[in-house]
Amino acid sequence: MRQIPVDTSAATVMVAKPAQPKVRDRRTGEIATDADGVKLMTVDVMFAANEDVEILSVTVPETGISGELVMGTPVALTGLIARPWENDFNGQRRHGIAFRAVAITSLAGAGAGAEAA
């Protein structure tokens, strides 16, 4: 399946909703895992770039989450990719874009020293 790398260097990214387990099956409550068996999490982020703001749901392995991620925390997304998807459900065709990152890291306090100088 096609994966499109996303350049975040010129974007401002902040947590909109803290990390929550990614549910694989809503009927059973089964939590999604990656190919290595690592639990997957979903973090909603505010992604601002080119005078446009979007809320993105980003899937990240639980081991890739570092720092406290509360609403409004500035973050860095490592290895962010966009993956188009399409499926048929109950006779209706659905499509969208899924976002996945290798890691999401809190930047809170990272610029404090530079601002104080």
Tell me the CA distances in angstroms from 56 to 35, 42, 45, 70, 116, one per residue in order: 23, 10, 5, 16, 32
Angle, CA of 77, 82 and 85, to the nearest 5° = 145
If pLDDT is split at 50, 70 and 90, which confidence band does 110 have?
low
Q: List CB contacts of 112: < 8 A, sequence separation 6 or more.
A: none
Q: How confident is the model at residue 111 (pLDDT cuts 50, 70, 90)?
A: low
Could you tell me the fold of the domain covering 4-107? OB fold (Dihydrolipoamide Acetyltransferase, E2P) (2.40.50)
Structural domain boundaries of the chain?
4-107
Rounded to 10 degrees, what is the CA torsion of 14, 18, 20, 22? Answer: -10
**Closest alpha carbon to 17 in 72, 67, 65, 68:** 72
pLDDT digits (tens, 9 = 90+) for 30-86: 889 898 999 999 999 999 999 999 999 999 999 999 878 999 999 999 999 999 988
